Chain A
Amino acid sequence: MSEPETTPLVVASGLRKTFRLGARETLVALDDVSLEIRRGETFGLVGESGSGKSTVSRALLGLLPLDAGSVQFDGLEVTRLKGGELRRLRKRMQMVFQDPFAALNRRQSVAQIVAAPLEAHGIGDRASRAARVEEMLDLVGLGPAYRERRPREMSGGQCQRVAIARALALDPELVVLDESVSALDVSIQAQVLNLLGELQQRLGLTYLFISHDLAVVRYMASTVAVMQRGSIVERGSREQLFRSAQHEYTRQLMSAIPAVDPTAERARRRAARTEAGVSSGG
């Protein structure tokens, strides 16, 4: 699936988006952003809040009209598709949001939520959809007992599992995980991250993994791009980036990774700083 010679699943080039804040004020959310996501990989996108990460994800999914730029999904120009064509393409790319409670319709049961994408695309009949819901819930580690639960009757981690089940129900190729574990407790985060990794292996998924948390990105992503104020300032393989970050901003982000043992970490960081001062790498 992930042979290097196959064409990338997503090719975005020259994305530009400006938001009008007031009569005179504008915000450049995307400034000439280009990226490629290869099939089967996890592409990590990091940056502080407001750096344009989510804008990128929405642009890739065709949820946001762009000022300029092109997004190709498996050779199809997303920015030019409209109406029914765009809806059909959306079957192939799904999204998991940050706030698991807000992303689920609070009036619907888990079964209804997971079946909704199938219904929207007219896939299967009632019975086959119910079977698919069961299969999906099983896949994300929720038993059939959860079918009739409402979002407010579940924990954040459980809600996020439901959101993942919904995203996978259509058998997509690309899943955008927009800060999908940021709102969860650290122990639940690990569970969900492991689940996501496992699902990627089993289903051959491609992930766009967006986070402000470098530790999490380091754990998940094979390729990482760092965003700051609407531009990608640095990119590379995980090893490359975490071993020898070139850009000042990337280093700042890295030093913000919290440590398990603060004393040891302080010592490590002091050492790293002196080392970086000597050889700008290491």
Chain B
Amino acid sequence: MASPASLSLAGRFGGRRRRVPRRGSGTTIAAIAVLAAIVLLCAIGPLFAADPGALDNANRFAGPSAANWFGTDQLGRDLFARMVAGGRISLGIAAGATVVSMLLGALWGFTAALARGIFDELLMRLADVTMAIPQLLFALVFVAAFGATTAGLALIIGVLLTPVTARMIRSAVLTELQSDYTQAAVAYGASRWRLVLREILPNVSAPLGVQASINAANAIILEAALSFVGLGVQPPDASWGTLLQQGYQKIYQSTSGVIIPALAIFLTIWMLNLLADQLGGTDDVRGRTG
């Protein structure tokens, strides 16, 4: 079909193009591996970690040792066990909030993009208004109104992340709606539902993935911030944010109480952002050879 010259040219271009995602995919795998390790540690940690609530008055502010990997806090509780228990809460809230924000955001964004006109305008101005108010302020109001249970926090944070998500999804859907393949689907007589579920949704999965990991990172930050100011997870439960705050109060007795929760939050968010970056970057190479 093609001459040998153009074949080899296509091959060279194809090779160069393919290397971009391949270089990125190492980072993607690393990010996923670190995140998986964190989740796994939180999942199976309680099997071998000490009881996070067990007090040991003789062993307060102990440094890292074989028995207490991360040392102990002001009540002699094992910090590793507390980090594992706190991670379950932090990551659980982040996961819940991500699911809530993606579902609501998709509903909101798809509706706006498909409705067009005045309804679209209304939905997007509503998003603008909610985005204009600081998230933390919004969170304070919600927490005051509904209380700070773990499930409640996931829901509140999820709702807070929804407007940004909706806005992003709307623009992604609008782009796809203008593409030839959706035009083709309309031309062959696809119904609106078919258009959305079979044609558009699979094609916006990459931006959706990016937004999901950004949302997860933001949810961890928001939860940590709320817990740090005492409005998030309440004692005796402790999220990473609560641990950070408690460690911060005793910073002169033990620095590990601050450093370890902060590192855990930092590492998780870094990996989520890295993942978002990679997912966003590789899909732009929309395989076009020939």
Residues of B within 8 A of A188 (CB): 1
> Could you tell me the distance in whole angstroms from the C-beta of B173 to the nearest C-beta in chain A?
14
Q: How many residues belonging to A are interface residues under a CB distance threshold of 8 Å?
A: 39
Task: Given contact pairs A103-B183, A105-B202, enumerate 5 new A-B contacts (beta carbons under 8 Å).
Answer: A63-B183, A105-B185, A105-B199, A107-B203, A120-B185
Measured CA separation A155–B290 after assembly (Å) = 5
- Please give the residue numbers on chain A whose beta carbons come within 8 Å of chain B beta carbons, in ascending order: 61, 63, 87-88, 90-91, 94-95, 97-99, 101-108, 116-117, 119-121, 150-157, 163, 166-167, 170, 185, 187-188
Asked if B181 contacts A117 (CB within 8 A), the reply is: no
Measured CA separation A179–B243 after assembly (Å) = 64
> Could you tell me the distance in whole angstroms from the C-beta of B157 to the nearest C-beta in chain A?
31
Q: Pick the contact of A152 from B2, B189, B202, B287 — CB < 8 Å?
A: B287
Asked if B188 contacts A97 (CB within 8 A), the reply is: no
Known pairs A87-B189, A116-B190, A185-B2; A156 contacts B184 (CB<8 A)? no
- Which residues of B181-231 are within 8 A (CB) of A? 181, 183-191, 194, 198-199, 202-203, 205
Q: Pick the contact of A121 from B189, B198, B202 — CB < 8 Å?
A: B189
B288 at the interface (CB under 8 A from A): yes
Asked if A97 contacts B288 (CB within 8 A), the reply is: no
Asked if A120 contacts B181 (CB within 8 A), the reply is: no
Residues of A within 8 A of B191 (CB): 87, 120
Q: How many A-B residue pairs lie within 8 Å, measured between CB atoms?
A: 82
Known pairs A95-B184, A99-B180; A117 contacts B203 (CB<8 A)? no
Asked if B287 contacts A117 (CB within 8 A), the reply is: no
> Could you tell me the distance in whole angstroms from the C-beta of B10 to the nearest C-beta in chain A?
8
Asked if A120 contacts B188 (CB within 8 A), the reply is: yes
Measured CA separation A222–B50 after assembly (Å) = 86
Asked if B188 contacts A106 (CB within 8 A), the reply is: no
Asked if B180 contacts A103 (CB within 8 A), the reply is: yes
- Which residues of B157-196 are within 8 A (CB) of A? 179-181, 183-191, 194
Quick one: which of B184, B199, B288 has the most chain A CB within 10 A? B184
Asked if A157 contacts B1 (CB within 8 A), the reply is: yes
Asked if B286 contacts A116 (CB within 8 A), the reply is: no
Known pairs A116-B198, A152-B287; A103 contacts B184 (CB<8 A)? yes
Quick one: which of B183, B188, B203, B290 has the most chain A CB within 10 A? B188
Measured CA separation A141–B205 after assembly (Å) = 32
B289 at the interface (CB under 8 A from A): yes
Known pairs A107-B202, A155-B290, A185-B2; A90 contacts B188 (CB<8 A)? yes
Measured CA separation A101–B188 after assembly (Å) = 17
24 example contacts (A-B, Cβ-Cβ < 8 A) are as follows A61-B187, A63-B183, A63-B186, A63-B187, A88-B189, A90-B188, A90-B189, A94-B188, A95-B184, A102-B179, A105-B203, A106-B181, A107-B202, A116-B198, A117-B188, A119-B194, A120-B190, A120-B191, A120-B194, A155-B2, A155-B290, A167-B188, A170-B189, A188-B1
Asked if A155 contacts B1 (CB within 8 A), the reply is: yes
